[in-house]
Amino acid sequence: MNKITDVKQLSENVFEMTFEAKDICRERKAGQFLIIQIDSDFGERIPLTIADSDEENGTITIVFQAVGTTTMKLAQKKVGDKLENVLGPLGTPTHIEKFGKVVCVGGGIGVAPLFPIIKALKAAGNEVTSIIGARNKELLIMEEKVANHSDKVIVCTDDGSYGIKALVTQPLKEACENDKPDMVVVIGPPIMMKFCAETTRPFGVHTVVSLNSIMVDGTGMCGGCRVSVGGETKFVCVDGPEFDGHKVDFDNLMARNRAYTSHEQESTHKCRIGLTRG
């Protein structure tokens, strides 16, 4: 079991949790994720991206949004409580090298999984511009941490309550027009990643997106996380979670994610896999 050492609420329904995981901390790399089970052997297994780590203390930090049964239960955990099972690190790490000028775009809670990638890209000697966005100021997370590892930070809010009133695609387009980056990394809601990829496409800028699809085992066996990339079927948990944003079929991804939103469909899903969705 993994002992929880810190819990913070970052914004409405968004929590940051740190827990002991020495082996994972030692092996993890930017872009990887965990499968966490907070209850007994019959509890749901949920994928959560590693937001940070502390090798000296042997701890891992995750950031999650309490939107379903399991994540709401997770948000109720206190310092000193333990997580039943933590599996990881999983997924293919982000390819990190000195590319030159890199723009990193994070939307909403997507800023959390983007943060370790920003850190790694900056440490590799890249010039990093970070664009982070949220619906309003209260929902913005990790701005200071992102700023500490970026050469420039642009903050966008939908309502203009903080930073500039714009979608993240606006400064992204301006960056491509004024000082074309060598690479763009985007993490956020699928619809946001789709339009960011469409923004960079005319400029021929390589764009990497990190997908968060329906996932059960995290090892490629269940097939729930399959996605179409360049006309080929890929599994987010083992082939990803990162893919070329210009090749991802986002419409298919969003349709699959919507498949489990109704109670009737959710009940069917529970019966089929013997788990509960969070």
pLDDT in tens, 23-70: 999 999 999 999 999 876 667 888 999 999 999 999 999 999 998 889
State the number of CA atoms in the 13 A half-sphere of 123 facing the CB. 9
Q: Residue 78 above 70 pLDDT? A: yes
Considering the chain, what is the average pLDDT of its residues?
A: 90
Q: What is the pLDDT of residues 196-245, one digit of tens each?
A: 999 999 999 999 999 988 787 777 888 888 999 999 999 999 999 999 99
Segment 94-117 mean pLDDT: 97
DSSP state of 7: E
DSSP state of 248: B
Q: Residue 278 above 90 pLDDT? A: no
Amino acid code (one letter) for 60: I
Q: What is the pLDDT of residue 41?
A: 67
State the number of CA atoms in the 13 A half-sphere of 205 facing the CB. 30
Q: What is the pLDDT of residue 257?
A: 83
- Contact indicator for 105, 30 with CB cutoff of 8 Å: no
Give the architecture (CATH level 2) of 101-257: 3-Layer(aba) Sandwich (3.40)
Is residue 238 packed enough to be buried (19+ CB in 10 Å), middle (13-18) or exposed (0-12)? middle
Measured distance CA(269)–CA(256) in Å, rounded? 13
Q: What is the pLDDT of residue 267?
A: 34
Measured distance CA(98)–CA(18) in Å, rounded? 30
Show Cβ contacts of residue 92 under 8 Å, excluding neighbours closer than 6 positions: 31, 32, 238, 239, 240, 241, 242
Per-residue confidence at 12, pLDDT binned at 50, 70, 90? confident
Please give the CATH number for the structural domain made up of 2-90.
2.40.30.10
Q: Residue 275 above 50 pLDDT? A: no
Measured distance CA(214)–CA(225) in Å, rounded? 5
The structure tokens listed for 199 are: 């923004």
Q: What is the pLDDT of residue 263?
A: 37
Domain ranges in the chain with CATH number 3.40.50.80: 101-257
Share above pLDDT 70 across residues of the chain, in percent, rounded to a whole number: 92
Expressed in angstroms, the distance from the first to the final Cα of the chain is 20
Q: Specify which residues 152 forms β-bridges with.
A: 129
Show Cβ contacts of residue 204 under 8 Å, excluding neighbours closer than 6 positions: none
